[in-house]
Amino acid sequence: MLGWELPPYNSGGLGTASLGITQGLSSLGVGVRFVVPKVFGPYPFSHMPVLSAVDHGESLPWDESASRQLGYHTELLEIKGQQLALPTKGYLSAQQQSDWYAEKVLAISAKEAPPSLIHTHDWMTYRAGLAARDAFHARGFHTPMVAHIHATEFDRSDRHGNPEIYALEKEGLNGADRVVAVSQLTASIVHEEYGVPLEKIRVVHNGHTARSNLKRHPHPLKGRHPVVLFMGRVTWQKGPEHFLRFAVALLKLDPSVRFIFAGSGDQYERIIEQAAGSQLSGRVLFAPFLRGEEVDRAYQLADLFVMPSESEPFGLVALEAMEHGTPVLASPRCGVNEVAPSIVVTDHTNPLAMARAAHTILHTDDRAKRLAAMQHDLRANSWQVACQKLQAVYDELTTPALAPVPVAA
């Protein structure tokens, strides 16, 4: 399995999903060797070996730039009170990052026993997966490749994205033996925008890992004000501007509501300025990118989690909120809506409609009924359930029982 990040060294949901998938596969008896660009420290799990790509093959001029350019590496060092500036010289383009990773994975492939299958996560890893598949084929083994798509360039930036990333996505999605999309919403984009035949696409919705040791964090604000939470990357994709317009509309219905806005991204400073200009100062509490127990505290403090995304391929955060007993209000453009009926879906471009829906949840909802519905959604969407579907995709491609088979002469 080729990925770009794993918790705790991650910058978003891709690492969380990758870990959940491997844990679900492990519970089904599927062994995984996971490759990341660089291992920065110990991982809090033991179900699989994690290989550091930068440590393999010949030393390349790009090794230092590639590892320093990882977003989660920067955030990790900032958390420790240090500063790490991205290199001004040798800054790698999307194409160069992809090629660098492919070179390192090829070096690993030359030494590793052939796997039954190669599973790749998003555009950063597709070219490496294709190269590894060809390398194993040259050694006489049929090793198919799955391209897992968690988010497309159209999700991240609509029609104004990076053409290099789009090209890498198109190359990998069309070159893979199977494409796994995290929702029907994503599958339609893969087919319509990338020209991938529908018969090659399989939908496997993301899952959720239930925690038996979940800590509760009481907060003095809880009970004094209804609290509404936004948590995610502060980018176009996540709809932060929609959240602020919704906040203004909800305050007209209930001036006692307070809002927590947690995250980081390219629109962060502009959103703070916009909040001040919208007379939201003192009503919206801003927080940076949260990790670990800080995330739990935020969910538990909130009475409602709002996901006003322009395009959310799945939306693992919705299931995380439900685990804490927090209802979810989401835009129609969220893949998680397909498998979680307890989510209230409302037009994210209509602030008044969102405000009315939120007001109903906060003040007139049958909370016990809502909690029961959320628990049902969580049980139906475990990672083990998701990985059973994923294993069926593997079984389509491998024979017998996930064992590598020599290519016929």
pLDDT at 88: 41
What are the structural domain ranges in the chain? 13-207+384-406, 227-381
pLDDT at 402: 43
User: pLDDT digit string (tens) for 247-263?
Assistant: 999 999 999 999 999 99
Contact residues for 284 (Cβ-Cβ < 8 A; gap 6+): 244, 247, 258, 259, 260, 261, 275
For 281, left (φ over 0), alpha (ψ -120 to 50), or beta?
beta
pTM for this structure? 0.88
Domain 227-381 has CATH 3.40.50.2000: yes
Which CATH number is 13-207+384-406 given?
Answer: 3.40.50.2000
pLDDT at 87: 42
Q: What is the largest CA-CA distance in the chain?
A: 74
Q: How far apart (Å, rounded) are the C-alpha atoms in residues 259 and 227?
A: 6
* DSSP sequence for 87-119: PSSSPPPHHHHHHHHHHHHHHHHHHSPPPS-EE
Report which residue type is found at 256: S
C-alpha Rg value of the chain to the nearest Å: 22
Tokens of 31: 């062994």
Contact residues for 48 (Cβ-Cβ < 8 A; gap 6+): 22, 26, 31, 32, 33, 34
Q: How far apart (Å, rounded) are the C-alpha atoms in residues 145 and 403?
A: 14
Does 227-381 match 13-207+384-406 at the fold level? yes
Cα torsion 147, 383, 23, 71: sign? positive
Q: Which residues of the chain have pLDDT under 70?
A: 62, 67-90, 212, 399-409
Output the CA–CA distances (angstroms, integers) from residue 9 to 145, 288, 292, in the order listed: 25, 16, 12
Contact residues for 61 (Cβ-Cβ < 8 A; gap 6+): 90
Packing angle of the helix pair 163-175, 123-138 (nearest 10 deg): 40
pLDDT at 90: 57
pLDDT at 279: 87
pLDDT at 400: 53
User: pLDDT digit string (tens) for 281-329?
Assistant: 889 999 988 888 899 999 999 999 999 999 999 999 999 999 999 999 9
Q: Are 323 and 329 in contact (CB under 8 A)?
A: no
Tell me whether strands 141-142 and 405-406 are parallel, antiparallel or unpaired: antiparallel
